[in-house]
Chains A and B, each alone.
Chain A
Amino acid sequence: MWDYTEKVKEHFFNPRNTGVLEEANGVGDVGSIQCGDALRLMLKVEPETEIILDAKFQTFGCGSAIASSSALTELVKGKTLDEALTISNQDIAAYLDGLPPEKMHCSVMGREALQAAIANYRGEEWKDDHEEGELICKCYAIDSALIESVVRENSLTTLEQVTHYTKAGGACASCHEKIEEVLQRTLAAQCSAPAVKPAEKPEPAPAAASAEKPKLTNLQRMRKIEEIIESVRPMLQRDHGDIEIVDIVGKNIYVNLKGACMGCALEAATLGSIQQKLFEDLGEYVRLLPASQLEMAH
């Protein structure tokens, strides 16, 4: 099961300050739809000094949700409201000697309950503004909601940029595929399929070069095709797409178009312009076809 610290286990098995606080004058009810956890925090605040005299909680949730709630009540007791408001979710997690990344949201829920209870005491309306998404990077506890907003705000387009801005994917790297999915999803709205620009002008071929081109061996030809495809990949990748060769059968080159290019109205156009480049560089007529047609051919 989870790798809980001794402190978490201790607060789960013997939670402090549980139950209903009859004299509460500030109550915060919050929940996380993601995990289905819910927490009611009850505070007894001394009006003159705004000191939290007592705190109790009731929690519906997993072991770490209960432990986080218990830790929260211990942390706030004796503090003034303003002092209490400086407690961050990291403070709650640190009090417990850390939480597994999947469970960091339990500490976030604790902090929100505190804000809600204080708002309730002050007669203010509390609105939760944080969004929760699927946990993507377990090493740094980064969820999809954070990645999406950072991508939008900073116009990020590559995995490397996401790692640079959020740290997501920067350690064990096993979430790279998921990050790419979030990236694609976020950018899908502006589906700018990569029209392959004639990037660098090809070296002007010496006159009649193609006529003199020595005939390539099969292997040389395959290598050459690979080389050409490799050379257009960075362009596609810049637009969140990619291409890979699946098979070469005579004049037919079967490829997989991936990412933003796939299924786009511009898929055909993309293939068309890569095919053009292949003719030119290879000096022979070839057809570039989606790999799905290879299955049909078999």
Chain B
Amino acid sequence: MTPIYLDNNATTACDPAVVAAMLPFFTEQFGNASSIHSFGNQVGLAIKAARSQIQALLGAEHDSEIIFTSGGTESDNTAILSALKAQPDRKTIITTKVEHPAVLAFCDRLEKEGYVVHKLGVDGRGRLDLDEYRSLLNDRVAIVSVMWANNETGTIFPVEEMAEIAHARGIQFHTDAVQAVGKIPIDLKRSKIDMLSLSGHKLHGPKGIGVLYLRRGTRYRALFHGGQQERGRRPGTENSTGIIGLGKASELVMQHFSTENQEVRYLRDKLEKGILAQVPRAFPTGDLNNRLPNTSSIAFEFVEGEGILLLLNKLGIAASSGSACTSGSLEPSHVMRAMGIPYTAAHGTIRFSLSRYNTLEEVERVIEAVPPIITQLRKISPYWNEATNSPAAQAFAPAYA
């Protein structure tokens, strides 16, 4: 039984071509990119090539707008902190309730330090209210940070439009595009986005490498201080192997763009329809007509996500859950709560996230595997009536601790 990997929003397998591109830079060209001797003289060139591969992927106007970082988290933190430091008289941040913790947890910390944070809410389908957004913009706002696509539901946000609106008010705009890059068309030179985060390991590249796109002319303050790497904007000896791998991964992701949007989308839709056709009281979450082509988030009512994942794992199927109990925190997913999904459904939300490596056979196997698992768990759920195969007639209302 070969394992099936449907957790590509968590991380992806590194493409073998990416690994091959990286290897010589571990063993032969291991020199420092800043050195002039022969151990490193290819490194600088290779980094330059990687930078232009990423420039092409993002449609950036200049390659100097690409700053290499350690990943999505660092890029997100840097963007927000830079905007605050570069504009000390502006102390407000606007973001959303459904951001990744790389933005949300950092904003919570900044709030404790005295900054003002507004988190835009979403409707039941995970959509933002642009009127609310407009009403919050004023000259105390240092930065707007809104993700391009949500990692749990795949919901896509109208960041290009939001960036225009912010730009018209003279406010910096950052987007966490970690999940969006390679799946939706991005052409930054035509947008008003000032900063963008991407992460290598979400696009079949290596882990621990990412990019902060910084539009030329955007006021910026570095997070770290040291050498002149990345023109002093992100000092520290370059992660040359990571950068070269990310460059290769970017090139591949551009080649596979239509695979992602046609074949992967087809498999995702088949999977989702196949499961929903067989399981009663289950529904997809997020903005179904406007989401990433690879993501399906299904709420199975009256069962808990971790149980589903453990049973799937026994069958060699890897997915993830927006549920409390797997994430290390006990709260159900903040994304599900922001959409107003009731607790008994939020806890049973499973995210299937596909990639270009998945096959039709795999999807068929998963469609077969899921329904019996849900039946098995509902059998022991106090909210479910096995005899009628529907929610318990008398609603289960326990004494809550």
Contact = CB atoms under 8 A, between A and B. Distances in A.
Contacts of A62: 304-307, 323-326
A61 B325 contact: yes
Given A40-B382, A58-B382, A128 B399 contact: yes
A1 B327 CA distance: 8
B398 interface: yes
A50 interface: no
Interface string B373-401: 00000011111001000000000111111
A12 B303 contact: no
Interface string A51-86: 000000111111111100000000000000000000
B217 interface: no
A157 interface: no
Interface stretch (A28-36, A190-198, A204-212): A28-36
A46 to B, nearest CB: 25
Contacts of B324: 35-36, 62
Q: How large is the interface on A (under 10, 10 to 19, 20 to 34, 35 or more residues)?
A: 35 or more
B326 A31 contact: no
Contacts of B343: 36
Contact of B332 (A18, A36, A116, A128): A36
A30 B380 contact: no
A35 B328 CA distance: 11
Interface string A15-35: 100111000000001111111
B302 interface: yes
B390 to A, nearest CB: 15
A36 B304 contact: yes
A131 B382 CA distance: 23
B85 interface: yes
Interface in B317-346: 323-326, 328, 330-332, 343-344, 346
Interface residues of B, number: 39
Contact of B399 (A18, A31, A263): A31
21 contacts: A9-B310, A15-B380, A20-B386, A30-B398, A31-B401, A35-B324, A36-B332, A36-B343, A36-B347, A38-B382, A39-B382, A60-B302, A60-B344, A60-B381, A62-B305, A62-B306, A62-B307, A62-B325, A63-B325, A102-B330, A295-B85
B385 to A, nearest CB: 9
Interface in A174-199: none
A147 interface: no
A1 B309 contact: yes
A59 B380 contact: yes
A1 to B, nearest CB: 6
A116 B399 contact: yes
Contact of B326 (A1, A38, A61, A112): A1
Interface in B9-49: none
A292 B114 CA distance: 10
For the residues of A in contact with B, the DSSP-based class is mixed
Contacts of A32: 400-401
Nearest to B330: A35
A87 interface: no
For the complex of A and B, the 10 pairs showing the least CB-CB separation, nearest first, are: A62-B325, A31-B398, A62-B306, A295-B88, A58-B382, A29-B398, A40-B382, A18-B380, A35-B330, A36-B347
A37 interface: yes
B231 interface: no
Contacts of B399: 29-31, 116, 126, 128
A109 B401 contact: yes
A251 interface: no
Contact of A18 (B310, B311, B379, B396): B379
Nearest to B221: A298
A40 B401 CA distance: 14
A45 B85 CA distance: 68
Given A59-B382, A62-B323, A132 B401 contact: yes
B398 A40 contact: yes
B190 interface: no
A109 B344 CA distance: 17
A34 B330 contact: yes
A13 B314 contact: yes
Interface string A268-298: 0000000000000000000000001001101
Contacts of A39: 382, 398
A172 B396 CA distance: 41
A52 B35 CA distance: 78
B310 A12 contact: yes
Contacts of B114: 263, 292
B89 interface: yes
Given A102-B328, A102-B330, A37 B304 contact: yes
A130 interface: yes
B328 A130 contact: no
Contact of A38 (B306, B310, B346, B396): B396
B304 A65 contact: yes
Interface string A108-136: 11001000100000000010101110010
Nearest to A143: B330
B330 A63 contact: no
Nearest to B306: A62
Contact of A29 (B304, B311, B380, B382): B382
Contacts of A131: 401
Given A36-B343, A59-B380, A60-B347, 11 more contacts: A30-B400, A31-B398, A32-B400, A34-B330, A39-B398, A40-B396, A60-B303, A60-B304, A66-B380, A109-B401, A296-B88
Contacts of A116: 399
